[in-house]
Amino acid sequence: MIQAVDANDNETERAQKKSRKTVPGVIRAIWKSEGVPGFFKGLHAQILKTVLSSALLLMIKEKITASTWVLILATRRFLLLSRGGLKNA
């Protein structure tokens, strides 16, 4: 909200408005215009975004972990078989 500027302002007024906006000023403006619910505007969307990104991250992590274990076990088996094959030859 600090970065928001009305579209119908000219450039000088826009620069003056931007420089005068502060965090306490924005908090007062939200409190006056929307009350307590104004502080929680967009919270649902942010929670949904966080849950989805965390779920995606964990899914990718599990896939990488499973693939890594398969590769480690396959490499180990290959190395054990190749050592055993050399001794018999």
Per-chain mean pLDDT for the chain: 82
What's the CA gap between 6 and 29, in Å, rounded?
A: 15
Helix, strand and coil content of the chain, in percent to the nearest 5, comes to 80, 0, 20
Question: Looking at residue 14, what is its pLDDT?
Answer: 55
Tokens of 40: 């929680």
This prediction has a pTM of: 0.53
Is 86 or 22 the better-scoring residue by pLDDT? Answer: 22
Who contacts 41 (Cβ-Cβ below 8 Å, separation ≥6)?
Answer: 34
Tens-digit pLDDT profile for residues 14-56: 555 554 688 888 889 889 999 999 999 999 999 999 999 999 9
What's the CA gap between 73 and 89, in Å, rounded?
A: 24
